[in-house]
């Protein structure tokens, strides 16, 4: 801007010089002067002051004009910078606003949020095509279509529940300009939003999970109070176990006290038609594979790679492929009474799933034990009733015999009296 100021002053000086030359030329044309040189070098006293004043006015005006132009240009530059900054802030606010609305929607999954956030981040820059974004969350990675790694990047970790669960990385694909402080704060702000979103999702899942457990326990408790059959309770346990662990298949069974065989009344619900094993039955006389290991050792099993588990014996021909497996024994006072087994969840089984199934197995064990006790009690009651009936019948028969005995004695006495009379 100072360059333009100097140019204006120089133009003013040139105009002043041109004015002097023209004024001298005009005066030299008057007959009273001899020539142009004398008019230029030796003017009259009054004309000299006029020339000086006019020249100073022209130069002063040029200086003032240069100052005004420079100030105007400074204002235009500042206006451009402010406009650029406002546009940047508007883009940033719009991006954060869209991300905020996205993470506040409770119906949107984590996967969808992360994909859309990656697509939104470049819009905060003036040239989005020069921005590449990579977002990592646990074992998943999300990238922009134009992503490639460069030396110019800014990253921020995603924190949720006091641990790092992911990272946001932004790369400059072109140029060599470093990220500004505002851009760094923007990236950190996105990471904080995502961290809060993950925490809320985890809290909602925990609440939903706990509600599911409470519902399962309540229904099982109601079934126990109502003294439902073992088959009905087995169906309830299987339904809640599959729902809480998101398992596709499973079975719940109890140990027959007389034979020691595993009886699975729930086997026919979702496996019977799919499984193509020959001569299949709901009663297992022998224990094999992972589920058999659980029964033999009275310990739980959780594996997301059953094919390579050393405890596994594989699956028979025609059996459903097992992608992951979770099983817990139902034990009462160290005595095996049943089992819960689940398979093929749409995600990996976790220790949390194992805790849930073990809790359900504990309730199931109590239900089996109660059913067995009630069955034994009913058998004792039936036996006592039979004994009571037999006793009543015996007493009635004894009474009849006594009556017959008295009748016979009376007849004998009557006969003896008759014999005495006839002697």
Mean pLDDT confidence for 72-89 = 83
Q: How far apart are the first and last CA of the chain?
A: 172
- Average pLDDT of the chain? 80
DSSP 30: S
Domain positions in the chain: 2-89, 108-206, 229-423
Residue with tokens 């067995």: 372
Where residue 164 falls among pLDDT bands split at 50, 70, 90?
A: very high
* pLDDT tier, 59 (very low <50, low <70, confident <90, very high otherwise): low
- Band of the pLDDT at 194, cuts 50, 70, 90? very high
pLDDT at 48 over 90: no
List beta partners, residue 169.
134, 155
Q: What are the φ/ψ torsions at residue 269 (nearest 5 degrees)? A: -70, -50
Q: Distance (Å, rounded) from C-alpha 80 to C-alpha 85? A: 8
Tell me whether the CATH fold assigned to 108-206 matches the one assigned to 229-423: yes
Residue pair 245/383 in contact by the 8 Å Cβ criterion: no
Residue 303 pairs with which residues in a beta bridge?
Answer: 325
Indicate the class that CATH gives domain 229-423: alpha beta
Ranking 34-48, 224-238, 246-260, 291-305 by mean pLDDT, the lowest is 34-48
Q: What is the pLDDT of residue 233?
A: 84
Structure tokens at 123: 């819009």
pLDDT of residue 51: 61
What pLDDT shows up at residue 4?
Answer: 47
Neighbouring CB atoms inside 10 A of 344's CB total 16
b/e map of 91-129 (b: 16 or more CB within 10 Å)? bbeebbeebeebbeeeeeebeebbebbbebbbebbeebe
Q: What percent of the chain has pLDDT over 70?
A: 78
To 10 degrees, the CA torsion angle through 206, 212, 217, 220? -160
Is the pLDDT assigned to residue 92 strictly greater than 50?
yes
**For residue 36, is pLDDT > 70?**
no
- The helix (run of H) or strand (run of E) holding residue 111 is helix 110-120
Burial class of residue 135 (count of CB atoms within 10 Å of its CB; 0-12, 13-18, 19+): buried
CA 44 to chain centre: 97
More confident residue, 233 or 3: 233
Q: If one looks up domain 108-206 in CATH, what number appears?
A: 3.30.450.40
Where is pLDDT greater, at 134 or 366? 134
Query: Predicted confidence band at 71 (pLDDT cuts at 50, 70, 90)?
Result: confident
Where does the pLDDT of residue 176 fall: very low under 50, low under 70, confident under 90, or very high at 90 and above? confident
List of residues 6+ apart from 187 with CB closer than 8 A:
121, 154, 155, 156, 168, 170, 179
pLDDT at site 166: 93
Q: Which of 36-40, 57-61, 211-215, 285-289 shows the lowest mean pLDDT across its residues?
A: 36-40
- For residues 76 and 117, the model is more confident at 117
CA distance 326 to 103: 33
Minimum mean pLDDT range among 10-19, 308-317, 400-409: 10-19
Confidence (pLDDT) at 1? 47
Rg (CA), the chain: 50
Name residues whose C-beta falls within 8 Å of residue 243's C-beta, 6 or more positions apart in sequence.
212
Q: Band of the pLDDT at 33, cuts 50, 70, 90? A: very low
Cβ within 8 Å of residue 418, ≥6 positions away: none
């Amino acid at each position: 801007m100072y360059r333009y100021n100097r140019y204006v002053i120089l133009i003013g000086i040139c105009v002043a010089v041109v004015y002097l030359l023209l004024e001298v030329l005009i005066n030299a044309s008057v007959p009273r002067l001899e020539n142009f040189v004398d008019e230029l070098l030796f003017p009259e006293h009054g004309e000299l002051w006029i020339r000086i004043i006019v020249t100073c006015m022209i130069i002063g005006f040029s200086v003032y004009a240069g100052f005004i132009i420079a100030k105007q240009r400074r204002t235009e530059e500042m206006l451009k910078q402010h406009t650029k900054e406002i546009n940047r802030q508007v883009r940033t606010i719009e991006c954060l606003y869209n991300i905020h609305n996205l993470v506040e929607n409770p119906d949107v999954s984590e996967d969808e949020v992360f994909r859309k956030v990656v697509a939104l981040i470049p819009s905060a820059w003036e040239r989005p095509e020069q921005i590449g974004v990579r977002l990592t969350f646990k074992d998943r990675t999300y990238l922009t279509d134009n992503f490639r790694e460069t030396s110019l990047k800014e990253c921020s970790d995603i924190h949720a529940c006091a641990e790092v669960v992911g990272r946001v990385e932004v790369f400059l694909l072109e140029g060599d300009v470093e990220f500004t402080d505002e851009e760094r704060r923007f990236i950190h702000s996105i990471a904080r939003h995502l961290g809060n979103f993950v925490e809320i999702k985890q809290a909602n899942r925990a609440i939903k999970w706990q509600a599911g457990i409470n519902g399962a326990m309540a229904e099982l408790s109601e079934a126990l109070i109502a003294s439902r059959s073992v088959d009905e309770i087995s169906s309830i346990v299987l339904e809640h176990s599959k729902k809480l662990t998101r398992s596709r298949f499973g079975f719940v069974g109890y140990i027959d006290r007389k034979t020691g065989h595993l009886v699975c009344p729930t086997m026919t619900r979702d496996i019977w038609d799919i499984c193509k094993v020959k001569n299949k039955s709901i009663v297992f006389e022998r224990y094999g594979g992972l589920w058999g290991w659980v029964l033999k050792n009275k310990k739980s099993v959780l594996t997301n790679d059953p094919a390579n588990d050393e405890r596994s014996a594989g699956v028979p021909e025609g059996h459903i492929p097992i992608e992951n497996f979770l099983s817990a024994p139902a034990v009462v006072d160290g005595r095996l009474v049943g089992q819960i087994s689940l398979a093929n969840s749409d995600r990996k089984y976790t220790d949390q799933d194992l805790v849930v199934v073990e809790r359900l197995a504990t309730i199931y064990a109590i239900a089996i034990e109660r059913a067995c006790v009630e069955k034994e009690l009913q058998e004792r009651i039936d036996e006592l009733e039979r004994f009571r009936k037999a006793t009543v019948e015996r007493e009635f028969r004894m009474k009849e015999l006594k009556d017959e005995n008295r009748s016979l004695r009376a007849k004998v006495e009557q006969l003896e009296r008759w014999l005495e009379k006839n002697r």
